Amino acid sequence: MTHTHALNFDRLVAHRAASVNASGIRRVFELGRSLKDPINLSIGQPDFPVPDAIKNAAIDAIREDRNGYTLTQGIPELQTRIKDHLAHDLGWDFSDSAANPMDAIVTSGTSGALFLLAMATLQAGDEIIVPDPYFVIYPHLAGLFGAKPVICSTYPDFRLTAERVEPLITERTKFVLLNSPSNPCGVVADKKTCTDLLELCRSRGVLLVSDEIYDEFTFSDGLTDPTPDGTDMRCPSPSRNSGGNTNGQDTLVIRGFGKTYGCTGWRLGYAAGPKPLMMQMAKMQQYSFVCAPSMGQWGALKAFDVDMHDTVSAYQKKRDMVLDALGDVTEISKPGGAFYAFIKVPERLGMTASQLFEKAIEKNLLMIPGNVFSTCDTHFRISFATSNENLARGLDVLRDLMKG
């Protein structure tokens, strides 16, 4: 008779998985499910439908049986479109004859690109520099690969400046993560911050990773330093604002389609940067995600022709509703983009953000306490990607809570 042993999950599960808590955001979502008709200001995704041209292109691809694997690096049509877009937007030269050849690949979401980067670059003992507050997966990118996240506080103005980063760079630093417009603050890095940070990374031989998932979601007043004649109203990118010397080995740009076009579930993003790095990331994709979802890629091909200005303007008005409702009861760094505000719990309340979160729950309101995105618990994030009615209801509750 053979012996059977109950599976010991403590033995089975790797430290890597066991040591990570489920995302704090997921916990808020679960709490939300237990509330009856909550006012939900916790959701980090757009509340508008995917534009028809994009939907139809994806549906056509399914109907026309274009459902198989694609090339790992993406369907050639989309890869070319992305390179053309970046050549125009950043001035990058994707030709093989360029002094430092660049490449772009389609990834399974922006998170997918971040994972490929971590897989391709990090090993035990390495370090990455992560802004605090951060998008929730940034510190884990390091931890999951045995590397160390070095946290760079950006309080109180939420700017990842060269002065703040410089003392944290060591021999082990592999890359610095910049996110603009940012999650959870909505803060847009100004051009000088981008240029200085890139110069610093360049001088120390460190890669600058620019997570630009909200780049198209920059408000008309989001730029602190637009060109005087208003000719360049694009969101500053380190790769664009580096004095023209951009085809270097120093920047990896990561962008996505999910937030801009409301298709977060399609898992679509892209990464672009120096060819030797892109080749390693593509190889990692081959052995993990294989390729980004095929129908989504055909849909995304139409995205570059869709004008989202009206949607972004509507979100700017929602941002103004937040500032109007709460600006005189607490401190808020004015969001220049994305759809988040990171709001300080007034000191006179003598409360942490988690404690304010509990009070908000009692009023049927969901937001996200800052300790989900930060080593501090002094602020909380609301998402204004919701109907004006819902937002107004939520802001009334928050105003009452914070008046004290």
Kindly tell me which of 292 and 391 has the beta carbon lying closer to ligand PMP: 292
The CB-side HSE value for 206 (13 A sphere, CA atoms) comes to 28
- Identify the helix (H) or strand (E) that includes residue 106: strand 102-107
Kindly tell me which of 254 and 391 has the beta carbon lying closer to ligand PMP: 254
Q: Which residues contact 137 (CB under 8 A, 6 or more apart)?
A: 111, 114
- Shortest spacing between CB 135 and ligand PMP, in angstroms: 4
* Residues touching ligand PMP, count (CB under 6 A): 13
- Shortest spacing between CB 111 and ligand PMP, in angstroms: 3
Confirm or reject binding of residue 256 to ligand PMP (CB under 6 A).
yes
Confirm or reject binding of residue 258 to ligand PMP (CB under 6 A).
yes
Binding mask 29-68 for ligand PMP (x = CB under 6 A): ---------------x------------------------
The region, left, alpha or beta by phi > 0 then psi within -120 to 50, assigned to residue 180 is beta
What's the length of the chain? 404
Which of 80, 264, 352, 355 is in the footprint of ligand PMP by CB under 6 A?
Answer: 264
Confirm or reject binding of residue 139 to ligand PMP (CB under 6 A).
no
Q: How many CB atoms lie within 10 A of CB 274?
A: 18
Confirm or reject binding of residue 213 to ligand PMP (CB under 6 A).
yes
Confirm or reject binding of residue 183 to ligand PMP (CB under 6 A).
yes
Tell me if 321 sits within 8 A of 391, measured CB to CB: yes
Of residues 72 through 91, those in contact with ligand PMP by CB under 6 A are none
The CB-side HSE value for 347 (13 A sphere, CA atoms) comes to 1
Kindly tell me which of 146 and 265 has the beta carbon lying closer to ligand PMP: 265
Cis peptide before 181 (omega within 30 of 0): yes
Kindly tell me which of 113 and 351 has the beta carbon lying closer to ligand PMP: 113
Residue nearest to ligand PMP (CB): 109
- Shortest spacing between CB 403 and ligand PMP, in angstroms: 30
| Residues 166, 152: Cα–Cα separation, whole Å | 10
| Residues 215, 103: Cα–Cα separation, whole Å | 20
Single out the segment in contact with ligand PMP by CB under 6 A; choices: 108-116, 151-159, 222-230, 289-297.
Answer: 108-116
Tokens 């070319």 appear where? Answer: 80
Please give the full DSSP string across 131-194, using - where no structure is assigned.
Answer: EES--THHHHHHHTTT-EEEEEE-TTTT---HHHHGGG--TTEEEEEEESS-TTT-PPPPHHHH
Single out the segment in contact with ligand PMP by CB under 6 A; choices: 106-114, 218-226, 245-253, 365-373.
Answer: 106-114
Which residues contribute to the site for ligand PMP (CB under 6 A)?
44, 109-111, 135, 179, 183, 211, 213, 256, 258, 264, 269
